[in-house]
Amino acid sequence: MAAYMGQILVVDLSKGKIETLETSPTMSAQFLGGSGFASRFLYEHLDQGVDPLSPENMLLFMTGPLTGTLAPCTGRHVVCGKSPLTNIWGESHVGGHFGAFLKFSGFDGILIKGRAAAPVTLQIDSGTGALSPAADLWGKMTGPTQNELKERLGRVQVCCIGPAGENLVRFASIVTDERVSARCGLGAVMGSKNLKAITVAGNEKVSLHSPDKFRELAQESSKTLREAMSMLSDQGTAMYVDIAMMFNDMPIKYFQEIEFDEVDQINAKAMEKILTGRTACYSCPIGCGRKVTVTDYGLNDVAGPEYQTIASFGSNMLISDLPKIALINNLCNQYGMDTISCGSTIAFATYLCDIGVADYGFTWASPDKVIETIHAIAKREGIGDLLADGSLAFAKKYSREDIVLQVRGMEIPNHDPRAFSGMATVYSIASRGASHMEGDMYSVDMGADVRALGIISGDRLENDGKGVVAAKAQDFRAFFDSVIMCQFAFVPPETIISLLNLAIGTSYRIDDVLKIGARSVTMKRLFNLKCGLRTSDEKLPRPLLIPHPDSVTEDFIPDVDAQLDEYYEYRKWDRKTGCPSDAALEELGLPGLNS
């Protein structure tokens, strides 16, 4: 098939064996690539009952059909497997250039299984792979690890873990350049396998069905996108800080309060004081990445904090020192840790100290204590060893599961469902636990809807209809994650379909967008059911069902049950068991998978 390399590299670390597996054209046609393809592949090949940190778990690095082409914002890849943080489906997307180089190396994906007897790296180049000892890299931060591998191997792209992944921190990340596969703790899975890094290189071309027409449409859509997203390009994701504050969407003091008087010290305008450049992923016309310099802390042209990190370690912990937040962000990147889960877990520990349940010396507005704790978590020392298992595990030690902000073990991202009601459905139902990337209802209800697909914005403080719109938004984003295309790319679905058809030689239609996405959503649900998913866990934590008094949200709280009733009816899933009906599976071309 055009646009695909047609094979996955399969690496058995236990046996030291490397082979190739032809990709199924049928599976590619149904799921495209990315996390959609991965969900179907791992459902079939991975025993969902395994311990996530055992050799039997697998990691699948996947690209999409448009990866490595000129289509806008398609330089991403995804890592999938069973999450050690949640014990259910795990996936984590990342930009940069690794995904494109993986295609250029001759593969659509890499399947990792087993466990090496000692630390190793995997080098892939022009259709071949090899394992090399990595004892000299074990213990190193992600920056030095990548620099050393690039010095040895030349023009390669690198994915690696830092000490957090090696020490099995359950929210450890995988880092490429300074882009991060952050959520779900898949860096710990990589660490459990003694796999320090993967390098990719090669000069294989991505063949296209209609290259001239594809190039013309890709360049035209990139130009349109660049103009439409100029504000994001100019300000980065920190542009959302002021917007979030206006809507009461940004967390303050572990989501307890609505006012943070020092927000002007952590917004996009404040970022200008330390800004020294910007970065873009492969084939991205936007360039939302920031480079910052803080000489006092030895930071020189390093990745600047994104909105989620600014919220996690800034407003959520009452910290207004942006240079310190930049330092915290750099530490998390170098150790290899998810800033959302890390920040939320430290904030929860601070909250327990604040209300007198715990006594670890945590206080609000204490960046130096946070920095000290990040070192301790990554090294699993002292209190850090407890926090390294995530906030739910920490809450269980104090029997306070009722107040920790998580869903299915994954910490709530920095969007408040009391500000955008549809996020209640998204958080409660998302395949990997609380995730804002599986349905961005906050942007939908600010007007970024997709009317051609029935994703229509409404009153952000209403419940009626939100379950259905959230389901459609979830399908749309699952489609994006199968293409793979960055969710900041507000490219019309008609254009994406045209790009796919010109690239692959298919005849997809606009009606296929939500159907392809729904297949992916459904496969992840089937995977999770085999992991032991319970519908009783599909709920928001109690503190997020307490209204904010005197806020612009007018004391609103989302009606989760009413929204989920709508969601389940739309999907044709059983509300009690969580299982897709036979009719739902038939409609998606997935008959018999309920058995």
Q: Over the stretch 390-442, which tens digit does the pLDDT of each residue have?
A: 999 999 999 999 999 999 999 999 999 999 999 999 999 999 999 999 999 99
Cβ atoms < 10 Å from Cβ of 492: 13
Distance CA 200, CA 159 (A): 9
Dihedral class, residue 104 (left if φ above 0, else alpha if ψ from -120 to 50, else beta) = alpha
Residue 556: inside a domain = yes
Helix (H, G, I), strand (E, B), or coil: what is residue 334?
Answer: helix
Distance CA 203, CA 181 (A): 25
pLDDT at site 553: 85
8 A C-beta contact, residue 43 and residue 64 = no
Per-residue model confidence as pLDDT tens digits over 263-273: 999 999 999 99
pLDDT at site 501: 98
Rg, Å, the chain Cα set: 22
pLDDT at site 508: 98
pLDDT at site 148: 98
Q: Which of 150, 182, 201 is the last residue of a domain?
A: 201
Residue 478, pLDDT > 80, answer yes
Statement: the pTM of the whole predicted model exceeds 0.85 = yes
Burial state string for 160-171 with b = 16 or more CB within 10 A and e = fewer than 16:
bbbbbbbbbbbb
Distance CA 29, CA 37 (A): 9
Residue 594, pLDDT > 80, answer no
8 A C-beta contact, residue 476 and residue 453 = yes
Mean pLDDT of the chain: 97
Tokens 């074990």 correspond to 138
Distance CA 232, CA 572 (A): 38
Helix (H, G, I), strand (E, B), or coil: what is residue 176?
Answer: strand
Q: Are residue 244 and residue 329 in the same domain, yes or no?
A: yes
Amino acid found at 322: L
pLDDT at site 551: 85
pLDDT at site 257: 95
Q: Are residue 531 and residue 470 in the same domain, yes or no?
A: yes
Q: Are residue 436 and residue 474 in the same domain, yes or no?
A: yes
Domain of residue 444, CATH code: 1.10.599.10
Per-residue model confidence as pLDDT tens digits over 155-199: 999 999 999 999 999 999 999 999 999 999 999 999 999 999 999
Q: Are residue 355 and residue 291 in the same domain, yes or no?
A: yes
Q: Are residue 373 and residue 445 in the same domain, yes or no?
A: no
Residue 217: inside a domain = no
Number of domains in the chain: 3
Residue 222, pLDDT > 70, answer yes
Q: Which of 182, 201, 220 is the last residue of a domain?
A: 201
The torsion angles phi and psi of 19, rounded to 5 degrees, stand at: -145, 175
Residue 240, pLDDT > 80, answer yes
Q: Are residue 160 and residue 188 in the same domain, yes or no?
A: yes
Q: DSSP assignment of 107-141, as one string?
A: -SEEEEES--SS-EEEEEETTEEEEEE-TTTTT--
Mean pLDDT of 461-472: 97
Q: How confident is the model at residue 595 (pLDDT cuts 50, 70, 90)?
A: low
Q: Are residue 281 and residue 148 in the same domain, yes or no?
A: no
Both structure tokens of 415: 């969007």
Residue 72: inside a domain = yes
Q: Are residue 291 and residue 376 in the same domain, yes or no?
A: yes
Q: Which of 509-518, 521-530, 544-553 has the lowest mean pLDDT?
A: 544-553
- Residue span of the structural domain in which 50 resides: 7-201
Q: Edge-to-edge strands of the sheet including 289-294?
A: 275-279, 289-294, 299-303
Q: Which of 376, 404, 432 is the last residue of a domain?
A: 404
Residue 348: inside a domain = yes
Mean pLDDT of 332-344: 98
Q: Are residue 309 and residue 458 in the same domain, yes or no?
A: no
Q: Are residue 51 and residue 194 in the same domain, yes or no?
A: yes
8 A C-beta contact, residue 38 and residue 91 = yes
- Report how far apart the first and last C-alpha atoms of the chain are (Å, whole number): 31
Q: Are residue 256 and residue 379 in the same domain, yes or no?
A: yes
Q: Are residue 386 and residue 432 in the same domain, yes or no?
A: no
Q: How confident is the model at residue 549 (pLDDT cuts 50, 70, 90)?
A: confident
Omega prior to 484 cis, within 30 of 0: yes
Per-residue model confidence as pLDDT tens digits over 81-137: 999 999 999 999 999 999 999 999 999 999 999 999 999 999 999 999 999 999 999
Distance CA 444, CA 446 (A): 5
8 A C-beta contact, residue 540 and residue 427 = yes
Q: DSSP assignment of 345-397, as one string?
A: HHHHHHHHHHTTS--S---SS-HHHHHHHHHHHHHT-THHHHHTT-HHHHHHH
pLDDT at site 396: 98
Domain of residue 260, CATH code: 1.10.569.10
